[in-house]
Chain A
Amino acid sequence: MTRAFGALLKRDLTLVARTPGDYTTPVIFFVVCTTLFSFVAGKDIAVLKSIGPGVIWVSALLASMLSLEGLFRSDYEDGTLEQILTAPAPLPLMVLAKAFAHWISAGVPLLLISPILGILMNLDSHSTTILVVTIAISTPTFSLIGIFGAALVISQKKAGMLLSLLTLPLCVPILIFSVSAVSAAADQLPISGHLMLLGAFFVFTLTLSPFGTAGALRIMLSN
C-alpha cells in the first residue's frame, strides 16, 4: 500500500520535473495576478497595504485552481487512470498521492514566492510571516478540494471555468480565515484561533476529499 503510494507520487513528480511549465506557470501567474491589483490600487501605499493580504490570497487561490485543471487530463486520455482504478491499491490512497504531488509541484512554489509578494505589498515582517504560514496550511487544502473538482470535470476539454465555478465557493471559509489572520497579525492581535480553524479545515478535507474524489472518478470512468 505504501509502496503504491510512493510509486505514484514518484511518477507524478518525475513527470512534473520533466515539464518545467507545470511548476513555473502557476508561480508566474501568481506574480502577474498580484501585480495587476497594484495598478488598480494606484499609488496609495495605505490602500495597497490594506488590500494586500486579500489580493495575494485570491491570486494564490486562482493559481492553485488553474493548475489543477489538467491534473487528470493526460492520465485520462492515455488510459493510465483506468490502470490506477483497477490496481489492487485502494483508490482514495492513490488520489491522496496525486493531491500530494500536485501540492509539491504547484503549492510549494507559491509558498516560496509569497514572502516576496508580501514585501511588494508593503506588509510588515510579522504579517508576511503569518501570510506564509497561512499559505502553507491552506494550499494543501486547495489541492484536496481542487482534486475533487478536477475528478468531476475530467471528461471536459476546456474545464478551467467549470472547475473554478464548482470549487471556488467551497474555498470561501479558507479565504476568510486566512485573510483575517494576516489582518489580525498586522494589528498585533492574537491569531492562534484563525490558524487552528485553518488546520481544522485541512484535516477535514484530508479525511473526506480522497473518498469523494475516488467516488467521482469511479462514476466518470464507468461505462
Chain B
Amino acid sequence: MWLWFHKLSTARHFYALATRLTPWLGWLTGLTIALGLYLGLVVAPIDYQQKDAYRIMFVHVPSAWMSMMIYTMMAVSGAIGLIWRIKLAHVACTAAATIGASFTLITLVTGSIWGKPMWGAWWAWDARLTSELILLFLYLGFIALESAIPDRTKGQKAGAILLLAGVVNIPIIHYSVLWWHTLHQTASVSKFGIPSIHISMLTPLLVMTVGFMLLFLTILALRMRAMILETEYQSKWLRQLEESG
C-alpha cells in the first residue's frame, strides 16, 4: 500500500497511470454530466415559486461546492508537498488552481444570472456572495504569486505556504462576512439531518456534482501531464515511454 503510494508520487509512474486513465475519465465525465443534465432539465419537476429558473442550480451549486473543495484539496496537497517534499503534490496544486478559479467564476456568474430574476439584482453584497468573491481573490493571489517567482520549485513552495494561510483564514472570513449581513438562502443540503430539498431535485444535483468532480479530475490529470512534460522533457523514461507507445 505505502509502496504503491510512493511509486505513484514519482512523476514517471503518475504520468503512465494518468495517460491510461484520462480517456476513461473523460468518457465517464461526459456520460455523468449528460445524465445529470437530462435529470435536471427534463425529469425534475418545475419549482412552484421559481418556475424553471431554479434549474440553473444544477450548475451553480455543484460549482460552488467544487470551488471550496478544490481550495481545500490544494491546501492539503500543498501541506503534503511541504512536509514530505513530494514534488508531484506541488504540481497538483499549480494544476488545480486555474480549474478552481474557473469554478469560482462559474459560481459567481451563474449566481448573478440566477439572482437577477429572483432578487431583482445582479449582485448583492451578501455574505455568501462576498465569501465566494474573496475565495476568487485568494485563488488569483495564489496564481499571481506562483507566476511571479521565476524559480518554479520555489514559487510552488511559497504558494503552498500562502494556501495554508488562506485555508486558516477562510472560516474566519466566512463567519465575519456572515455576521456582517445576509440575504442569500441558507444551505438546503447538509450532511446531517434531512435535506430540505425534494428527492427529485436532489438526485440531479448529486449526479451533476459527481460529474463536475470527474470533470475536475480529468482536467487535472491532463494539466498535470502537460506540466510533467514541460519539466521532464529531457528525461530518459519519457523518451522510452514515447518510443514504446
Residues of A bordering B, CB below 8 Å? 148, 152-153, 155-156, 162, 165-166, 168-170, 172-173, 176-177, 180, 197, 201, 204, 208, 212, 215-216, 219-220, 222
Contacts and interface: CB of A to CB of B under 8 A. Distances in A.
A152 B168 contact: no
B161 A215 contact: yes
B181 to A, nearest CB: 9
A68 to B, nearest CB: 15
Given A176-B177, A216-B158, A222-B154, A208 B168 contact: yes
5 contacts: A166-B141, A169-B134, A177-B176, A219-B158, A220-B154
Nearest to A180: B180
Contacts of B145: 152-153, 162, 166
Contacts of A162: 144-145, 148
Given A165-B144, A172-B134, A219-B154, A152 B172 contact: no
Nearest to A197: B176
Given A153-B145, A153-B148, A173 B161 contact: no
A169 B173 CA distance: 9
B161 A170 contact: no
B46 interface: no
A152 B173 contact: no
A215 B138 CA distance: 20
Interface in B157-209: 157-158, 161-162, 164-166, 168-169, 172-173, 176-177, 180
Given A156-B148, A173-B172, A219-B161, A165 B137 contact: yes
Contact of B176 (A169, A172, A204): A172
Instruction: Give 7 nearest A-B pairs by CB, closest first.
Output: A173-B176, A169-B137, A219-B157, A166-B141, A165-B141, A169-B134, A176-B176
A189 B146 CA distance: 45
B222 interface: no
Nearest to A216: B161
B138 A169 contact: yes
B177 A170 contact: no
Contacts of B144: 162, 165-166
Contacts of A156: 148-149
A148 B140 contact: no
Which of A155, A168, A172 has the most chain B CB atoms closer than 10 A to its own CB? A172
Given A169-B138, A212-B165, A155 B149 contact: yes
B53 to A, nearest CB: 31
Which of A153, A162, A169 has the most chain B CB atoms closer than 10 A to its own CB? A169
Contacts of A216: 158, 161
Given A176-B180, A222-B154, A212 B173 contact: no
A161 B158 CA distance: 17
A165 B162 CA distance: 12
Contacts of B158: 152, 216, 219-220
Nearest to A201: B172
Nearest to A221: B154
Nearest to A177: B176
Interface in B110-140: 134, 137-138, 140
A222 B149 CA distance: 14
A131 B168 CA distance: 27
B162 A166 contact: yes
A152 B162 contact: yes
B71 to A, nearest CB: 12
B80 to A, nearest CB: 15
Nearest to B169: A170
A160 B172 CA distance: 25
Given A162-B144, A165-B141, A169-B134, A212 B177 contact: no
A161 to B, nearest CB: 9
B89 to A, nearest CB: 15
A147 to B, nearest CB: 12
A173 B180 CA distance: 9
A67 B158 CA distance: 22
